[in-house]
Amino acid sequence: MDEPTGSLDPIATKHIEEVVQKLSSRVTIVIVTHNLQQAGRIADYCGLMLMAEDGPGELIESGSAQALFAQPTDPRTQGYIEGKFG
């Protein structure tokens, strides 16, 4: 899903997140989002991708959502989470 709640109000967003959480016990769901709060609420695993300076995007860091948000290992991940860029 690409930004599945990007243009929705908070109530509709909550309903979509509840459906995603219910479905995730039966199927794998991949969501692309810029909404870090949403990712932190509903993700089991996360990955941060950034554009490379001279080419396509690259995976900077991945792992459990809890670990990625609480203790990122790459300073670029920490910077993105803190809103220093992006």
The tens digit of pLDDT for each residue in 13-44 reads 999 999 999 999 999 999 999 888 999 999 99
Contact 63, 70 (CB under 8 A): no
Residues paired with residue 32 on neighbouring β-strands, in sequence order: 2
Q: What is the pLDDT of residue 39?
A: 93
- Contact assessment for residue 77 and residue 60, using Cβ atoms and an 8 Å cutoff: yes
pTM: 0.79
Instruction: Give residue 56's Cα distance to chain centre.
Output: 19
| Domain parsing of the chain, residue ranges | 1-43, 44-86
Check whether 77 has a pLDDT greater than 90: yes
